[in-house]
Amino acid sequence: MSERGLPMAKSKNNATQKITISLDRQTIHNAKVLAAQRSTSPSALLARQIEDLVGEEETYERTEPQAMALLDQGFHLGGNIRTRRDELHKR
């Protein structure tokens, strides 16, 4: 918990580090409203979004080789092809 009693983003070793970002005033205002609607802080809202984004990327990097292998292998969608491709595309 932060000094304000809000949950803080945690890394794998539970250490947190602050960062500074610059946003236009309207975006900051909208973030504050959104955070209030979700009973959190703009900082926690942003931290969650970054954690989700990083998690998605890590998941993609883990699963991408298997997905590419499946695509290279191809899929049998049923049926029998009786006509050769060059016969279909005669000019």
Q: Model confidence over 67-87: pLDDT tens digits?
A: 778 878 877 777 777 778 788
Tell me the pTM.
0.51
Indicate the average pLDDT of the chain. Answer: 81
Q: Does some domain include residue 7?
A: no
Q: Does some domain include residue 84?
A: no
- How far lies 16's CA from each of 10, 12, 19, 74, in Å? 6, 10, 10, 44
Q: Which residue range forms the structural domain that includes residue 63?
A: 26-75
The C-alpha atoms of residue 74 and residue 69 are separated, in whole angstroms, by 9
**Which pLDDT does position 49 carry in this prediction?**
92
Domain count, the chain: 1
Q: Model confidence over 1-11: pLDDT tens digits?
A: 444 444 554 55
